[in-house]
């Protein structure tokens, strides 16, 4: 399918990206129904998913700028150790920002 950002991450597609956002919305919806978190929890889930993908894209852009294939040699063939955590770093940054703004639904953080 159409590529999301081919110069930075040539294998990412818009279908995979949007499927990730949709899956986050579904998971957020399930938790919203079971916890009473409301519709805001769905939005927060999608924002965190977007931030996770942004972390992955940022790490890919950094590797391309440095002209390296892997961020380390500790896990051969997997893009390096940082490649295993780039999405988590983006997601945690979004959670911290949402916490500081007081934008998380009650009972989430």
Three-state secondary structure call for residue 6: coil
Does residue 51 contact residue 24 with C-beta atoms inside 8 Å?
no
pLDDT value of residue 109: 60
pLDDT band at 53 (very low <50, low <70, confident <90, very high): very high
Over residues 19-37, the mean pLDDT reads 93
Q: Give the whole-angstrom CA distance, residue 37 versus residue 27.
A: 12
Query: Which stretches within the chain are classed as H helix?
Result: 14-35, 39-65, 81-101
Q: Is the pLDDT of residue 19 over 80?
A: yes
Instruction: Provide the percentage of residues in the chain whose pLDDT is more than 90.
Output: 54
Q: For 67, phi and psi rounded to 5 degrees?
A: 55, 45
pTM here is 0.85
Residue-level pLDDT at 69: 79
């Amino acid at each position: 399918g159409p590529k999301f950002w081919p110069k930075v991450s040539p294998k990412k597609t818009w279908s995979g990206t949007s499927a990730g956002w949709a899956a986050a919305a579904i998971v957020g919806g399930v938790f919203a129904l079971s916890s009473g978190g409301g519709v805001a929890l769905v939005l927060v889930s999608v924002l965190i998913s977007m931030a996770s993908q942004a972390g992955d894209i940022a790490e890919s852009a950094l590797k391309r700028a440095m002209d390296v294939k892997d961020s380390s040699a500790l896990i051969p063939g997997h893009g390096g150790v940082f490649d295993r955590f780039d999405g988590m770093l983006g997601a945690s940054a979004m959670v911290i920002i949402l916490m500081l703004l007081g934008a998380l639904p009650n009972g989430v953080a």
